[in-house]
Amino acid sequence: MKVFILYAHPEPKSYNCKLKNKAFTTLTRQGHEVKVSDLYAMEWKTVADKEDFTELESKDFLKYQVEQKKRKLTEDILEEQKKVEWADLIIVQFPFWWFGVPAIIKGWMDRVLTSGWAYSWPNIYDKGPFTKKKVLISTTTGGPDALYTDKNLNGDIIQILFPVLHSFYFCGFQILQPNLIFSPAHSEVDRKRDLKSWAARLKKISEEKPLPFSRQDEYCELTSLKKTDMDILMRKK
Amino acid sequence: MKVFILYAHPEPKSYNCKLKNKAFTTLTRQGHEVKVSDLYAMEWKTVADKEDFTELESKDFLKYQVEQKKRKLTEDILEEQKKVEWADLIIVQFPFWWFGVPAIIKGWMDRVLTSGWAYSWPNIYDKGPFTKKKVLISTTTGGPDALYTDKNLNGDIIQILFPVLHSFYFCGFQILQPNLIFSPAHSEVDRKRDLKSWAARLKKISEEKPLPFSRQDEYCELTSLKKTDMDILMRKK
């Protein structure tokens, strides 16, 4: 497989970096090809604005998504798109900040997943362009797992991840079960154990089945989905 | 009331800018004091990194949240924190990109809502520092409202907004019902109607009651909340 690791953490000695490195070495040893975007090291431009285009269709009124379709994109965006096109699997590795991805990852999504390339109505979800590719979200939290259930104050982490998972599914990607590591800051023993089980999982990653998200033909306007993707995430099948 | 409008859009002629301006004039005319942070105009630094600190406790291993607690923060962060401390109500106005806030808003949250100031265990949620303040999320989508229900492929927008709403609630803020404008790009008539009803709502904003989110004393470890905040958002009370 061709694996693209999209990684962000401001500290190269962080546990997130170790998880990224473990993925790199494990997958490489299994014979997979691996490319990495280390967004902090790349000083990735995070803010979506008119500087993202080498030419503007409309100079006096920026319609960002309309300009994206024209594909007069800067080189940094095109380079990331080439990695996405190349990859069979994208691993997104980041610390869980404010119940979501750090700004630098969101800026990658805002700028790289362009209209007309990553999606174009009605080519979304299971009709999206990337249905042959998979995405695996891998993240670490500050709080303990006990706080992240639907019966505790934070809410279920898988519900909280819904917008991120569904953003990638919007472009067609098959979504693998996320790799969730709770509160690794507190125990070296747990950190080692979780690094090991991450490597063990990655050794068999090609065999994994994606989450059974809904397809376009399961609904039509004004009728209902039998079960929602949120239900599926919450395993209330 | 003192109102702080946190606003982001790359185009000053955008509908989001009109919504921001409408909020500013309406609230000012009602006698409220209003401050605005226009993140694009301010060229807001979006990425959280070691440059956010004027002094580092630990120079060779950045623990971002640990450094935040030391409060050796750069001036741009301190300025935003002063606005939060000053305000009774924060309105967050942005376009809905990839099922969430644009990177520049996420970068405001990552950098400004610092550990030890916006939260510190167990002073979170209804025990957080900002329980006397309110937050109102105001956003515009690309897709139509029909797509944003729990029975359609996007999922319910209020479920999708959960991580953003709950991030602010984590710091204690009371959360008002979000202002959601679906697909404004497609009709000038709808845009005018929605601007008008936004102004009408803001005229009575001081009277609004927050969403009845769960309190810390409604749960204790290993027991369950009777209803979850996601349930409350979904009005399955």
Q: What CA–CA distance (Å, rounded) separates A163 from A167? A: 6
Q: Is the peptide bond before A144 cis (omega within 30 degrees of 0)?
A: no
Q: Residue A223: what pLDDT? A: 47
Q: How far is A174 from chain B (nearest CA, A)?
A: 15
Read off the pTM: 0.95
Report CA-CA distances (Å) from B65 to A10, A154, A219, B73, B175.
12, 18, 44, 12, 24
Q: Residue B222: what pLDDT? A: 41
Three-state SS string over B146-161 comes to HHCCCCCCCCCHHHHC
What is the C-alpha radius of gyration for chain A, rounded to an integer number of angstroms?
A: 18
Q: Residue B186: what pLDDT? A: 83
Closest residue of B to A160, CA-based?
B163
Strand B134-140 with B179-181, pairing: parallel
pLDDT range class, residue B149, cuts 50, 70, 90: confident
ipTM: 0.95
Interface contact B64, partner A, CB < 8 A: yes
What amino acid is encoded at B206 in this protein?
Answer: S
Cβ atoms of B155 and B195 closer than 8 Å: no
B11 vs A155: CB contact, 8 Å cut-off?
no
Q: Pick from B77, B174, B156: which is nearest to B117 by CA?
A: B77
pLDDT tops 50 at residue B157: yes
CATH 3.20.20.70 fits A2-211, yes or no: no
Q: What CA–CA distance (Å, rounded) separates B169 from A224? A: 31
Q: Pick from A211, A145, A206: which is nearest to A180 by CA?
A: A145
Q: How many other C-beta atoms can be found within 10 angstroms of the C-beta atom of residue B33?
A: 13
pLDDT tops 80 at residue B3: yes
Q: Residue A151: what pLDDT? A: 75
Q: Residue A178: what pLDDT? A: 96
Look at chain B and count its residues: 237
Which DSSP letter does residue A119 get?
B
> Residue B174 belongs to what H/E stretch?
strand B174-175
Q: Pick from A84, A102, A90: which is nearest to A11 by CA?
A: A102
Interface contact B98, partner A, CB < 8 A: yes
Question: Torsion-angle region of residue B43: left (phi > 0), alpha (psi -120 to 50) or beta?
Answer: left
Residues of B in contact with A61 (CB under 8 A): 11, 13
pLDDT tops 60 at residue B26: yes
Q: What is the mean pLDDT of residues B110-134?
A: 96
State the Cα torsion A158-A162-A167-A168 to the nearest 10°.
30
- More reliable by pLDDT, B149 or B231: B149
Contacts of A78 (CB under 8 A, 6+ apart): none
Closest residue of A to B216, CA-based?
A153
Computed over every residue of chain B, the mean pLDDT equals 93
Question: Based on the number of CB atoms within 10 Å of its own CB, is B56 exposed (0-12), middle (13-18) or buried (19 or more)?
Answer: middle
Query: Phi/psi at B93 (nearest 5 deg)?
Result: -110, 120
Strand partners, B137: B92
CA atoms A190, A191, A196, A200: torsion sign:
positive
B103 vs A11: CB contact, 8 Å cut-off?
no
For chain A, residues with pLDDT lower than 50 are: 221-223, 236-237
